A = this chain, B = another copy of it.
Amino acid sequence: MARLHPLSGFPEWLPQGREVERHLIRTLRRVFTLHGFVEIETRAVEPLGDLLRKGETSKEVYVLRRLQDADRTGYDAKTLGLRFDLTVPLARYVLENAGQLDFPFKRYQIQKVWRGERPQEGRFREFLQADLDVIGLGQLPFHYEVELPLVMAEALTAMGIGGFKVRVNNRKVAEGVYQGIGLGPEQAEVALRWVDKLDKIGPAGVAAGLAGEGLSDEQCQVTLSLAAISGDDPAAVACAVRELAGVAGAGNASLEEGLAELTALLDAGQRRLPGVLTADLKIARGLDYYTGSVYETVWLGQESLGSVCSGGRYDSLATAGSQTYPGVGLSIGVSRLVSRVLALGLLAPSRLSPAAVLVAVVDEPSRAASDTIASQLRARGIPTDVAPVAAKFGKQLKYADRRGIPFVWFPAGGDGLQDQVKDIRSGEQVDAAAATWTPPAADLRVGFVRAGELDH
C-alpha cells in the first residue's frame, strides 16, 4: 500500500466530517418522515439499456466488468453500469414492484451515485444524493408540485447551515409564450437550450444564438424578456408575463394553465414558508424533460455552488403498456453541501468520540471492574469508553481530552471508597455511583456547533 493520495473525485471525510454528514442526513430523514415519506434503497447497478435510454448521458456512465472478463470489449443493453442518478432506478423499481406499492407512492432515497467524468473543476465522481419524489398511478394531483419543494426547503433549512431560496418556473408558461410568438415545438426546445446559457454567456450571447437558429428579432426579444421576469409576488409575475404575451399576440390554454399553476405554487409558498419560493422565468434546465413546475435551489451566501437541489414535474416517469406513472420530485446533492460545510467550518461536532464518559483503569488486573462500571453506564444509555491502557491517570485524562470526552470516571478500588467522576472541562470531581449517576442531557450525545461558536 504505497499510494497515499486520495483519488480525485471520490470524496472521503474524517470521522468528524462523517458526523456532520450524518447530521445532515438525519435532518433530511426526520423532515421526510414527518411528512409521511417512506424510504427505499435500490441496487447500485442498472443495465446499460436502462441507463442510456435518455441518450445524452452516455459519457458519464461507469460500466462494470468481472475481472476475468477484463479482456472483453464492447457492451450490450444488459451490461451493468453504475447508476448516475436515483431517478432511473426509481422508475425501474416502481415498474418492478407496482403491484406491491401504494399510490401515490411517497418515497425518499439517500444513496451514492457515480459519474465517470474526467476529474476536473472539483466535480465528484462519487457522491451522495437525497431524492424526494411522489409517484402517481395514471394521475398525480397538482398540489404535490406545491408540497415537494416546500418539504425540501423545510429539510434544507432545518440543517442549520443557512438560508435557501427555491426558484421556480413552469414549462407550460414558456411553451405558451413561445407558441404565441409562432415558435414550433422544435424551435421552442432550441430556444430553451439557449436560455439555459443565459448566466454563462449573457443576453447578447443568447440573442446572437437565437438569431443564428433563425428566430426573428421580435421572437428573440420576447424570449429574452420572458427570461428576465422574476420575483416573489405571484400577481406581479403573472401580470408581467401576460403583458409580454399580450404584446406578442400570445395568450393560450397552455399559458393560462402554466400561470395558474405558477401563481398557486407561489401563493402556497408565501403562506407556508414565507420568503422561500420565488419565480425565475429563466430557469430552463430540464424544461425539455419536465412537464410542469421546475425547481432550482440556491444556498444563500453560497451562490457559487449553483443549484444545490433541483427537480420538477414529469408526466411520465415510467410507462408500462397503457399505464403511466407521473411524478414530481427534487434531488439534493448532499456531498456538495457537506464538502462546503466542512471547507467553511460551518458545523462541527461538539466532540470527536461519541462517548460521554471514559472509565479509567487503575491497573490491568482491575480492568474487569472498569468494564463493569462501563456496562452499568451503557445499560442506562450513556455512551462510555474504557481507557485502552492502565497508564498514569494523566495519560488517561489526555486520552479523554483529545477526543472531547467530557467526563472521566475513577473506580474506587475494593477498599469501600466511593467511585468518583471528574468533569475535565471544569475540573470538578464528585463521588458517583455507576448505577445512578447521569451526565447533563447536553453532554449525553454529540452536538453540533456552528463555526462562530467554536471560538468562544
Which A residues are closer than 8 A to B by beta carbons?
1, 3-7, 10-15, 18-19, 21-22, 33-45, 47-50, 53, 58-68, 70-75, 80-82, 91-93, 95-97, 100-102, 104, 106-107, 112, 114, 116, 126, 141, 143-144, 147, 268, 271-272, 318-320, 352-355, 367-368, 371, 375, 378, 381-386, 388-389, 402-403, 405
Contacts and interface: CB of A to CB of B under 8 A. Distances in A.
22 contacts: A1-B91, A3-B49, A4-B320, A11-B43, A12-B93, A13-B40, A14-B40, A15-B38, A18-B38, A18-B39, A33-B383, A34-B381, A35-B384, A35-B385, A37-B354, A43-B126, A59-B67, A63-B65, A70-B74, A71-B74, A73-B73, A102-B352
A93 B3 CA distance: 11
* A interface secondary structure, majority: mixed
A358 to B, nearest CB: 8
A403 B15 contact: no
A439 to B, nearest CB: 13
Given A22-B39, A354-B38, A71 B70 contact: no
A50 to B, nearest CB: 6
Nearest to A100: B14
Contacts of A33: 354, 383
Contact of A44 (B65, B73, B126): B126
Contact of A66 (B5, B101, B116): B116
A81 B62 CA distance: 11
Given A43-B10, A63-B64, A70-B75, A36 B383 contact: yes
Contacts of A19: 38-39
Nearest to A354: B33
Q: How many copies does the complex hold?
A: 2
A55 B45 CA distance: 26
B61 A62 contact: no
Contact of A18 (B41, B65, B382): B41
Nearest to A93: B12
B271 A368 contact: yes
A265 to B, nearest CB: 13
Contacts of A375: 272
Contacts of A353: 36, 38
A330 to B, nearest CB: 18
A114 B70 contact: no
Contacts of A82: 64
A207 B308 CA distance: 64
Contacts of A367: 143
A72 B73 contact: yes
Nearest to A71: B73
A341 to B, nearest CB: 16
Given A34-B381, A143-B367, 10 more contacts: A3-B49, A10-B43, A12-B93, A35-B385, A36-B355, A36-B383, A36-B385, A61-B66, A102-B403, A104-B388
A64 B66 contact: no
Pick the most buried of A65, A107, A268, A383: most chain B CB atoms within 10 A of its CB.
A65
